[in-house]
Amino acid sequence: MHIPDMQLCRYHNGPLDAERWAVPLRAVGWLEHPHSFPKGPVPLGLPDKLGSLVKQMREAFPQYAFRGVMDCTFCLADGLSSPGPIWSQENVIIPGDNEIYASPGGIAHYVEAHGYLPPSSFVSAALRCPPCDSGEYLEALRIANAGEVPPVESHSQYSGRLRRELQAAVEARERRKK
């Protein structure tokens, strides 16, 4: 899926929908062949940091991995084998300065293998992003979201909410039977 860099992200209802945030949710790294993209040198460590953020999001927020998998269309267009579809369904949410960034899990591959140069504000935000499985991360999202609670839940919050909703539905069904 191609979304031009810095456009409002409206990828999916929930945390990847700009309407859910108090500040702009900017799409970065939603690349697709044959659309062109900026290329250039990136700070040392950016691909590793992005890869780490993808892994952290996968572990801390698995409920935000969705919409299927795809191969890298740039690799395929160049006659190369894709690194595999294992990363495309994951999403990264990065707090910025009065804005939030949403990126697909393949962004680290695009930077490393295809020379993609993300916007400088995104690069700065990614490099300073706290670990996604920390309270610091949720606090950074809140601060970046104009001080409002971000529309994300930790996996334990998400699981707990689903359990409560299921329990309420079961109890309502039992009451209707009586």
User: From the centroid of its chain, how far is CA 160?
Assistant: 22
Tokens of 102: 């949403």
Least Cα distance to 36 among 69, 11, 2 occurs for 2
Q: pLDDT for 126-154, tens place per residue?
A: 999 999 999 999 999 999 999 999 999 88
pLDDT in tens, 107-131: 999 999 999 999 999 999 999 999 9
Bigger pLDDT: 162 or 89?
162
Q: What is the pLDDT of residue 87?
A: 62
Specify the residue for token string 């698995």.
62
Spatial separation of the C-alpha atoms in residues 75 and 113, rounded to whole Å: 9
pLDDT tens digits, 8-62? 999 877 888 999 999 999 999 999 999 999 999 999 999 999 999 999 998 999 8
